[in-house]
Amino acid sequence: HFLWLTTQAAKVLVGTEPEHWLIFNRQQFGYYRVNYDSRNWEMLTETMVRTPEAIHHYNRAQLIDDAFNLAKADLLDFGVVLRLLTSLTNDHDYLPWAAGNNALNYLYNKLRGTEHYEGFVYYVHTLIGNIYTSLSVVTVDEQETLKQRYLKQLISTWACRIGYSECLDKTHEAFSAAVRDNTKVHPDVATVVYCYGMHRATDEEFVTMYKRMFNSQNSAERTLLIDALGCSQSMDQLDAFLTTSIGAGVGIEVNYFEAERTRVLQAVYSASRTGVDALIKFLDDWDIADDLIYYLEQPVFNSVIAAIAARTNTEQELNQLKQLFATVGEMAPENVVSAALETVQSNLDWHSSLEGVIVAEFLEKYAGWVEA
């Protein structure tokens, strides 16, 4: 049935029995979010966990997306989101996973580096485990649909991110083979293979990938390789790579297109906390910071400070940022420093917020629920 929303408020009576769940905005016909009472959320979650195919995949994605955004707006208990996400364990459709990915990335950014990160890793492990075992991480079957390829990339990314040894082994093997044989990885798995393969790259492999980027005239390929180079976990490799952004003293040529120098910085701080640490160490030198502002200009420097702050979750990381401010002095404008410190304080305060407490308590109890 369809009912046009023509007034700000209206009461609609439905004949659904109390023990049956109800979904509005079927297959996301309209652009609006729907909140339900706690009992209906509970029944929807139970159905999605046991028989996800009973609800159309558009609506499964919609329910996860609505719940997540309603919870962030303090209109829904975040525990509903966490329970709803457990339905992904048995869901092999890309759309619900794409919606869930937004929520998982949000939680990853909040919990990385904290005492509850281990619980989050276990939570993600239980979500992706069933699907991951059915995937070939580094190869693509031509019979796979586009959505299946997207799902493979999403699941593989999480598997490698939370430290699946098999995922890291396979991506490094495929990466090393591509470097050794001077071949390209299939584009549908290239992002995962290049990034996580780079985690264990030797200096020789790192330089080879840099030269491949240098010799390419294809903008998309160059961006892919710049992002991959930023995934390195070697502080020395990252320092050399960051130095290319200002084009000085690395012993190798630089031929970046417009905006690619900034992309180097983004690739490093976006890839991992190791990258953030490398960037802080790089800028913790007055002359280097001055050169970066000279070559890339003040707004880029300001955005880098904001990006570091957004990825600062602990007191130790905050102290690193404060040390950087002490080094660069007035090169970091007062309003930029103030905004960065406010961002960090917000990150730290989240853990004592209602949302943070709910997430922490859920993760503490989750392992026991699963094992029971």
The pair of three-digit structure tokens given for residue 10, joined into one six-digit string:
């209206």
User: CA 14 from chain center: how many Å?
Assistant: 40
Q: Write down the pLDDT at residue 201.
A: 96
| SS3 (DSSP) at 92 | coil
Q: Looking up tokens 């023509």, which residue turns up?
A: 6
Q: The CATH number of the domain where 36 resides is what?
A: 1.10.3480.20
Residue 343 lies in a domain: yes
Residue 358 lies in a domain: no
**Count of alpha carbons within 13 angstroms of residue 13, beta-carbon side:** 0
Residue 325 lies in a domain: yes
Q: Write down the pLDDT at residue 258.
A: 84
Residue 98 lies in a domain: yes
Residues 208 and 345 in one domain: yes
Residues 215 and 87 in one domain: no
Calculate helix-pair angle for 219-229, 190-197, nearest 10 degrees.
30
| SS3 (DSSP) at 189 | coil
Where is the domain boundary, 69, 86, 115? Answer: 115
The pair of three-digit structure tokens given for residue 44, joined into one six-digit string:
């929807």
Residues 85 and 217 in one domain: no
Q: The CATH number of the domain where 326 resides is what?
A: 1.25.50.20
Residues 110 and 218 in one domain: no
Residues 336 and 206 in one domain: yes
Q: Write down the pLDDT at residue 250.
A: 52
Q: Which of 36, 64, 28 is nearest to 49 (CA)?
A: 64
Written as tens digits, the pLDDT of the chain (372 aa) is 555 666 665 566 566 667 788 887 777 666 778 888 899 999 999 999 999 999 999 999 999 999 999 999 999 999 999 999 999 999 999 999 999 999 999 999 999 999 999 999 999 999 999 999 999 999 999 999 999 999 999 999 999 999 999 999 999 999 999 999 999 899 999 999 999 999 999 999 999 999 999 999 999 999 999 999 999 999 999 999 999 999 855 566 788 988 999 999 999 999 999 999 999 999 999 999 999 999 999 999 999 999 999 999 999 999 999 999 999 999 999 999 999 999 999 999 999 999 999 999 999 999 877 765
State how many domains the chain has: 2
Q: Tell me which H or E stretch contains 339.
A: helix 334-350
Contact residues for 205 (Cβ-Cβ < 8 A; gap 6+):
175, 176, 179, 198
Q: What sign results for the dihedral spanned by CA atoms 195, 197, 203, 209? A: negative
Residue 51 lies in a domain: yes
Where is the domain boundary, 115, 149, 177? Answer: 115
Q: Are 199 and 233 in contact (CB under 8 A)?
A: yes
Q: Looking up tokens 């558009």, which residue turns up?
A: 58
pTM, 2 dp? 0.92
Where is the domain boundary, 68, 95, 115? Answer: 115
How far the first Cα of the chain sits from its last, in Å, is 41
Per DSSP (E only), the strands in 218-257 are: none
Residue 194 lies in a domain: no
> What does the alpha-carbon distance between residue 310 and residue 344 come to, in Å, rounded to a whole number?
7
Residue 141 lies in a domain: no
Q: Which of 315, 273, 313, 308 is nearest to 289 (CA)?
A: 308
Q: Write down the pLDDT at residue 89.
A: 95
Q: Write down the pLDDT at residue 11.
A: 61
Residue 93 lies in a domain: yes
The whole domain housing 273 covers 201-350
> What does the alpha-carbon distance between residue 366 and residue 357 come to, in Å, rounded to a whole number?
14
The pair of three-digit structure tokens given for residue 175, joined into one six-digit string:
């990466």
Q: Are 234 and 201 in contact (CB under 8 A)?
A: yes
Residues 345 and 230 in one domain: yes
Residues 4 and 100 in one domain: yes
